[in-house]
Homo-oligomer: A and B are copies of this chain.
Amino acid sequence: MLINLDKSEMFKGLTSEQFEIILKKGKEFHLQPKTELFHQGDCAKMCFLVRQGCLKLIKLNEQGKEVIFRYIKSSELTAATAVLRDRKYLVSAECVEYTEVIGWDKKAMLQIMHQYSVVSINMLSIVLDRIEEVQQRYLDVCTENVDKRIARSLLRIMRLAGVKKTDGIYIDIPLSRQNIADYSGTTIYTVSRTLSGWEKKGWLSSGREKIIINDPHALVLFAEAT
């Protein structure tokens, strides 16, 4: 069992027996890195819980430019949209590493929600959290400079996927300059320049698709400076 019920916003309030029953109703998917779980425009058939690994939730504009809304790690839900009739995914989800998910189709999920009403409330709560997150990021991109946005992006990703070691907090997913750019609403060039600057200050160290935050406190101060 890789999912921690205590950490699952979606199924909290249930007993582990109920949780087990629900898990059995879902279908398992095992996905290799860089494969897509679902694609924007497709009919929304299933919603998913990540059992292991990591997804990135993205959206492309007509010219193919990409933004990353969030990374989704173990125990987290995505594609809540799929529990309602006649919707399409308006975002895509792609694995950033080997990932296992459990998917429930509309019918199964609705049945679960009717049987365990707390699940509906949990889902509403999750969706409200997500709205607040995008709203904050929208505000950021409208009102803050790039360097601050990049700092905030790194901190968000760090809080989600950071692993503390003696010399700093390691970002535990492959994270390229392009990813950081797509997450911050900027370009790889600006990200590269900005990170180089912070590396000189000793705030972080980085390699190919690797980031280690050595001085999270300094980064927080910078990100939240007025």
Q: B-contacting residues of A (Cβ < 8 Å)?
A: 59, 61-63, 65, 67, 69, 80-81, 83-84, 87, 90-91, 114, 117, 120-121, 123-125, 127-128, 130-132, 134-144, 185, 226
Query: In the complex, what residues of B have CB within 8 A of residue A137's CB?
Result: 138
Majority SS at the chain A contact face: helix
Whether B120 lies near A124 (C-beta < 8 A) is yes
User: Given that A62-B226, A90-B136, A226-B62 are contacting pairs, would A125 and B69 also be in contact in the complex, using a CB cutoff of 8 Å?
Assistant: no
Q: Is the pair A139, B80 in contact by a Cβ cutoff of 8 Å?
A: no
Partner of A91, one of B123, B130, B135, B144: B135
* A121 surroundings in chain B (CB, below 8 A): 84
Q: How far is the CB of A206 from chain B (nearest CB, A)?
A: 23
Does A139 lie within 8 Å of B226, measured CB to CB?
no
A195 to B65 Cα, complex, angstroms: 27
